[in-house]
Amino acid sequence: MDTVDLARLQFALTAGAHFLFVALTLGLATLVAAIQTRATFSRDPVHLRMTRFWGQLYIINYAMGIATGLVMEFQLGLSWSGLTEYAGNVFGSALAIETLVAFFVESTFLGLWIFGWDRLNRWVHLALIWVVTLTAYASAFWIMVANGFLQQPAGHVVDGGVLRLVDFGALVANPAAQIAFGHVMGGAMITGGFFVAGVSAYHLRKRTAEQDFFRKSLRIGVWVALPATFFTVTFGGLGFQTLQPTKAAAWSDDAARMAAAQAEMVAAHGPGDYLPPVGPVLAAGITMMVLWLVMTVVAGLSCLLVLFRPVVRRFRLWHWLLTLMIPVPFVTMLAGWMFREMGRQPWAVYGLLKTADAMSPVSAGQMRLSLIAFTTVYAVLIVVNYRLLARQARRGPEATSLGAPAVPALSF
C-alpha cells in the first residue's frame, strides 16, 4: 500500500471506530431522556430505576467516545494538513461550532445531570437530560455539516488558492448534510433501541429477578427500533438524490454510465481516474440494505411478540435472537459510512481537492508507524468500552451507582 492508501485506511479505522460510540451515545441519550420523562411525570419507581441503569451505560459509552474523538482529531491534524490548509476556513467553521458550543454545553449539562440526583428539583433534573440529548444531536448536526461540505461543496469561493466561506446559510442548508443528518439520527435510534432490547432479552433469558424491569425495557427498545428503521430508510432514499455523478454511476454498475461519468470528469478536471472503487462501494451499499431489512423484520416481529406477556418471559429463542442483534446496527452504520466516504474518492473535497493532495508531507514509513499506533489505541479503547458495558449490563440495575444515595461518612 502506498502512503495515500495507508492514510485513508487510518482515517477509515479511526472515524469508523469513533462513530460506533457516537451512534450508541445518541440513541441511548434519547431513550434515557424519554424514560426519565415517564418516571418524572408518573413517579414510577421502576422507570426511575430504568433511568439510572440505562443512564449509567450511556455515561460509560459517552466517556469512551470522548477519548476516541480526541484521538481522531489528533490524527486528522497529523495526516491531513493539506485538507485543513485548503478547506479549513470553510468546513472548520462547522467543526469549531460543534466543539465550542454543542460539545461543551453537552458535557457541562451532563455533569450537572450526573451529580444532580436528589440534589436538584426533579423537573430541573429532567430538563438537564433533555438539554444533553438535544446538544448531542446538535453536535452530530455540525459534524454532518462539515462532512456534507466535503461531499458536495457549498457556500465558498476560491481565494488565493484556498477556499473561503462566503455563504454560511448555504453551508448549513446543504442537502448533502441535511439529509445525511436525518439518516444518522434514525440509525442512532435503531442502535439504541436494539441495544436496550438485546440487553433486556439477555436478562429475561437468564431469568434474573428483575423480570418486570427488563420486560418494560425490551418493549421500549423494540418500539423505538421499528419506526426508526422506516425513518432511516426514508432519509436514505432521499440521500440517493444527492449522490455525486461518479458515485451514482458506480452504484448503478452500468459500464456505459460509468464511462460517461469518467469522460465528464476528465473534460472538467483533466486526465485521471475519477471513478470510486466500484466493488467496495457496491458491497458496502448492498450490506447496508440487507442488514436494514433484517433489522426491520426482527423489530416488526418483536413489536408483535411483546404484546403477549408469557411470550416475553419464556420465548428463549427470541431472547437469543435479540441479544445477537446488538452488533447488527453497528455493522450496518459502518457499511453506510464506507458507502458514503469511499464513494467520493478520489476527492477529499469533491471536485476541488484530491485525496492525494490533502495529505500531510509524510513518508510511507511514518504513516505506517502512525497507523499501527492509532490502531492499537483504538483497539484498546474498544475492548475497554466493551468490557465495561458488558460487565455493567450483566450485573443489572442492583449494581447501578448512578443516582444512588451517598454513603454517610463515619464519625469518630
Could you tell me if 20 and 326 are in contact, meaning their C-beta atoms sit under 8 angstroms apart? no
Q: Using DSSP, state whether 210 is helix, strand or coil.
A: coil
349-365 tens-digit pLDDT = 999 999 989 888 888 88
Cell of 84: 485543513
Q: What is the pLDDT of residue 406?
A: 54
Between 7 and 167, name the one with better pLDDT.
167
Closest CA to 176 of 158, 206, 154, 160: 154
Q: Phi, psi (5° rounding) for residue 165?
A: -75, 125
DSSP 8-state assignment for residue 207: T
Residues of 36-53 as b/e, b for ≥16 C-beta within 10 angstroms? bebbbeeeeebbbbbbbb
30-55 tens-digit pLDDT = 999 999 999 999 999 999 999 999 99
Closest CA to 194 of 64, 331, 315: 331
Q: What is the pLDDT of residue 128?
A: 95
Question: pTM for this structure?
Answer: 0.92
Amino acid identity, residue 382? I
Q: Could you give the CA distance from residue 277 to residue 245 in angstroms, rounded to a whole number?
A: 14
Q: What is the pLDDT of residue 408?
A: 47
381-396 tens-digit pLDDT = 889 989 999 999 999 8
Closest CA to 180 of 19, 12, 383, 395: 19
Could you tell me if 65 and 25 are in contact, meaning their C-beta atoms sit under 8 angstroms apart? yes
Could you tell me if 32 and 58 are in contact, meaning their C-beta atoms sit under 8 angstroms apart? yes
Q: Is the pLDDT of residue 171 over 70?
A: yes
Q: Could you give the CA distance from residue 345 to residue 347 in angstroms, rounded to a whole number?
A: 5
Q: What is the pLDDT of residue 410?
A: 42
Cα 368 to its chain centre, rounded Å, is 27
Cell of 138: 446538535
Number of helices and strands in the chain (H, E)? 16, 4
224-249 tens-digit pLDDT = 999 999 999 999 999 998 899 999 99
Q: Could you give the CA distance from residue 241 to residue 8 in angstroms, rounded to a whole number?
A: 26
281-339 tens-digit pLDDT = 999 999 999 999 999 999 999 999 998 888 888 888 999 999 999 999 999 999 998 89
Q: What is the pLDDT of residue 291?
A: 97
Q: What is the pLDDT of residue 405?
A: 64
Closest CA to 23 of 195, 231, 188: 188
